[in-house]
Structure 1
């Protein structure tokens, strides 16, 4: 009888311990993170719309089940594919990036600037090749080797994949520039180069430039004007929401895209 009671007691204790451990594991299980990187068209200012300009990364979260995935928008205005990296912002993400995470990236709007001017020094060499140029950076006050747009984008992709995370490259959202009744695309420069880098390095690609431009062309110009605030580049809240919707639609359309599992129905 005593042995039987001891057996029951030990069994009960083991079961209780298992339940507690399982509950602890469920509570502490890490949610994957979707990291968003880019420029002011992705996050404008501090992301609160103080200047009535918004980026699509700020309003992307309603499309996701955030009880199952964490969304971190690290985009910052004024940055190019080069300066987001040289300022150490990418290193900070890499320090936390883990297998099962996601990185969605959109650069290009600021990459066409000068390489070494005294106000920004943020430009990159055009294209996706291995060309480079050594310059003195008057902002950082250091010698710097500047690479092509594609070189920086390739590094984002390969670094992401090396960590066991998923890389998603977006072509830059279009500006409010019309030519003969059509929105001007970036399919001959940064949009094309973004696509080539994604295809050559095993990343997913969303042609955000085309998706948004096609949406604008279903509207009259007066309506499209309301989607921007202050200039032809930065979106108002409705404009950012439209762009975010196209990002979500692009994710849904990608074959075998694991991020789809975290989208709301």
Structure 2
């Protein structure tokens, strides 16, 4: 009998060593498989983790709207009861990819918006890279004497001119239209925002018969002068709104205003129309805000850019 229990020369002599060898090979293969499996489970185990700060990623800016009843929700606070008014700022979101927030308040002038502290709310919400559109003028006209209503600004195109007045029993220094916008612009720039000044919107240009009145008030040119002095983008909202209404015709234009006697305040249809007029004017400037215009919505805006001289025509 051999050493391993079989006859010398028999095959049984090799059975035990072969089994041991097979077990060793199997164990070796198992170790290799486990090692490869661990690598496949975590293929990046040899690399250091990379931490990304989401605050450093590019953010979509916010468009802040500052203005009066032509822009604000509800359109006006002293209209005909039961009539639906609306300001164009409520439809602006439809035309921009970025978030749009309106801080417009009915009946406000650049001066009143300032002393009421309403700019502070916008300042607190503004972040670097945001855009701000300021549109005033409808309520800025008036006299400081004999009674100051808190809305009228100091007359003149100078940004540093002031007038003395008595308001609520106290002596106050009243700035010009451009002065109030300049102060707000300075703060927005400190916050890293891009400021745009828009001319006031136009009224219904159609009068009795076939008359068409399209001459801008003093606040359109004043808004342009202020924008030029401050090196800001200026959008001639008046010009584009007027030109679009001329193409629309009298009958269709009347549908944009809920009360025929009120030539200033629009209904929702008119507000959407004026939002398109603003975007059309904006796209004819070099403002970076144009990059965030919604391409699909922009297809509803027809017509090209207009020469500035067109704002002086009167039909």
TM-score range, shorter chain: 0.7 to 0.9
- CA-to-partner distance for each residue in 1:50-75, whole Å, 9 max, x for gaps? 7411111110101111xxx2211000
2:303 is the counterpart of 1:261: no
Distance 1:219 1:251, change over 3 A: closer
- In structure 2, the gaps of 5 or more residues are 1-30, 296-315
User: Is contact 1:171–1:190 with CA below 8 Å preserved after alignment?
Assistant: yes
User: In structure 2, what is the Cα distance between the partners aligned to 1:195 and 1:58?
Assistant: 24
Distance 1:63 1:120, change over 3 A: same
1:57 to 74, 89, 105: 89
2:247 is the counterpart of 1:214: no
2:163 is the counterpart of 1:133: yes
Range with greater deviation from structure 2 (124-133 or 190-199): 124-133
Moved over 4 A (4+): 8-11, 26-30, 116-120, 177-180
- CA-to-partner distance for each residue in 1:121-142, whole Å, 9 max, x for gaps? 211123321332222223xx54
User: In structure 2, what is the Cα distance between the partners aligned to 1:158 and 1:117?
Assistant: 32
Distance 1:58 1:14, change over 3 A: farther
User: In structure 2, what is the Cα distance between the partners aligned to 1:13 and 1:42?
Assistant: 58
User: In structure 1, what is the Cα distance between the partners aligned to 2:250 and 2:148?
Assistant: 33
2:153 to 110, 124, 130: 124
2:199 to 171, 175, 194: 171
- In structure 1, the gaps of 5 or more residues are none
User: Is contact 1:137–1:144 with CA below 8 Å preserved after alignment?
Assistant: yes
Q: Which residue of 1 aligns with 2:221?
A: 192
User: Is contact 1:42–1:75 with CA below 8 Å preserved after alignment?
Assistant: yes
User: In structure 2, what is the Cα distance between the partners aligned to 1:117 and 1:173?
Assistant: 29
Report the Cα offset of residue 42 of structure 1.
Answer: 0.4
TM-score, with length taken from structure 2:
0.70
The count of residues paired between Structure 1 and Structure 2 equals 250
User: In structure 1, what is the Cα distance between the partners aligned to 2:166 and 2:215?
Assistant: 33
Q: Which residue of 2 aligns with 1:12?
A: 45
Q: Which residue of 2 aligns with 1:233?
A: 264
Q: For the aligned residues, what is the CA RMSD? A: 3.2
Distance 1:44 1:144, change over 3 A: farther
Report the Cα offset of residue 30 of structure 1.
Answer: 4.7
Q: Which residue of 2 aligns with 1:181?
A: 211
User: In structure 1, what is the Cα distance between the partners aligned to 2:167 and 2:55?
Assistant: 49
1:146 to 164, 174, 186: 174
Distance 1:195 1:27, change over 3 A: closer
Give the structure with higher Rg (CA). 2
Report the Cα offset of residue 118 of structure 1.
Answer: 6.7
Distance 1:154 1:185, change over 3 A: farther
User: In structure 1, what is the Cα distance between the partners aligned to 2:290 and 2:247?
Assistant: 27
User: In structure 2, what is the Cα distance between the partners aligned to 1:96 and 1:186?
Assistant: 33
